[in-house]
Chains A and B, each alone.
Chain A
Amino acid sequence: MTNDRGLKLIQSVEQADSSQKLLDAVQSLAAARLEEGIPTLIAALSYNNPGAAVAAVDGLVQLGEVAVPKLLTLLDDYNYSGRAWAIRALAGIGDPRALETLREAAETDFAMSVRRSAAKGLGNLRWSALPAQDVSAAQAQALKTLRLTAQDPEWVVRYAGVVGLQGLTTSVAESQTDIRPTVSEHFEQMLKTESDLAVRARVQLALDQLHKD
């Protein structure tokens, strides 16, 4: 990959004058996995073109950790729908540097689609990327937020909270923390109080899988 080609890919995103051209250009740039394309992919999250945004999120998730600092710093500068997509990208990448951003989104964002993505992302963080001495405090923070999320007024956010809690439990299996009994107990409690049938089914599945592990 030459810089020249990278520049061309970036330019074709910036110059796209139809939604189809934009989609194609973002897809090509995403597929090229260029570090210098990161700001352009992030900008594409705010074009109010869902196809292009999905392609940009995929591209950013593929790029992984290298995209995280820019996603975190640019997050506030972008419009609302762009922010929602950026949260989705951070959730997909799973870099624990996004912990605070994901927690804030899961707890306070007004859009349920953002809260649900953030909740799932909190169960998807790669803890090994953190210094060993910080892991249990960070996991406790994620757990705290996910327990709140599991009481969200919207069923889909509670559902995502259950998925996040299950993910968190699985991802910490080999670490020093003892989250599993806490989460199991939380799920048992949810089975008693949760009124939504789909969420209850997801809690039951999470419990079945936790017991199987």
Chain B
Amino acid sequence: MRESSFGNFESLSPEQSPEGSESLTVEQAIANLQGQDQGLRYYAAWWLGRFRVRESAAIDALIATLEDETDRTPEGGYPLRRNSARALGKLGDRKAVPALIRCLNCSDFYVRDAAAESLGMLGDPVCIPELMKLLEGGLEAAQPIPGCPHLAQPYNATIEALGSLGATAAIDLIQPFLDHPIERVQYAAARGMYQLTKNPIYANKLIQALGGQKLQLRRAALGDLGAIGYLPAAEAIAETLAENSLKLISLKGLLEYQVKNNSTESSSISEAAIQVMTLMDNLL
């Protein structure tokens, strides 16, 4: 018998470079991005992000493609813009922020989604007012749309970005999303609310989610708890029913939060960090 519904986490995080990537050079990738071949442009945008090519020429070329009009899906989407917006988040250059803010108004949902996520990663608070606009209309505007695979706005990415940017001005906008009909959105709201208020009540919602029925939702909660580095969740993370790979990444988030926030002059490791590492060792 086979259980095909089980999604293999390893396949979600590529362990190997796809074929051909080894032979691509930075110069070639930048040239491909500016060339005519849509397949090569799309791939080059992904490649520059994947291999963290932080050269100014790469950043400029990626920013330019955020205005691309040539690569369109039948539904009017902008595949190249999506890839470039994702890559720019990984490259850490705030030069991309104004262009990414413009992407928040793109007609393509997936471009808005990628831009919101990348703006959260770049950490420049100048985008906060524009991100907050995406939450306008609150729960009423955020109800699932029949026949549409996504919501009206990328609420998850937007709320998570506002949380990591420390946008306390957005607390009142985010709070109603704790009651959103979709659990993933509730978790994003809990995660954001915890980051903005440090009230454990929100992080505890995520711990509760680890005991839920659906594997996808437990995976999502693992990601959220890792992102907020919530130490009291360590045992629950180690024990939830999910892949060890994901638990390890989640616990890594807790460990790094501990190490960063307890940096003393001495190089010794805190008791809390040792506890997290003991749990990690057992999951290897």
Contacts and interface: CB of A to CB of B under 8 A. Distances in A.
Interface size bucket, B side?
20 to 34
Interface of A: 16-19, 22, 47-51, 81, 110-113, 116-117, 119-120, 154-156, 159-160, 163, 197-198, 200-202, 204-205, 208
A41 B244 CA distance: 21
B243 A50 contact: yes
Nearest to A49: B3
B15 A117 contact: no
B1 A22 contact: yes
A164 to B, nearest CB: 9
Given A111-B10, A154-B15, A159 B2 contact: no
Interface stretch (B67-75, B163-171, B197-205, B252-260): B252-260
Contacts of A117: 284
B248 A201 contact: no
Contacts of B245: 112-113, 156
A144 to B, nearest CB: 20
Interface in B224-270: 241, 243-245, 248-249, 252, 255-256, 259-260, 267-269
Q: Which interface residue of B241, B274, B280, B284 has the most chain A CB atoms within 10 A?
A: B284
B112 to A, nearest CB: 31
B3 A48 contact: yes
B1 A17 contact: yes
Top 10 nearest A-B pairs (CB, nearest first) are A120-B284, A19-B3, A198-B252, A49-B3, A160-B284, A197-B256, A198-B255, A201-B259, A205-B269, A116-B284
A160 B248 CA distance: 11
Main secondary structure of the interface of A (DSSP, over half): helix
Nearest to A204: B269
A48 B281 contact: no
Interface string B1-23: 11110101010000110000000
Contacts of B26: none
B10 A113 contact: yes
Nearest to A113: B245
A48 B170 CA distance: 44
A17 B2 CA distance: 9
Contacts of A202: 277, 280
Contacts of A205: 269, 273-274, 277
A84 B274 CA distance: 28
A112 B281 CA distance: 15
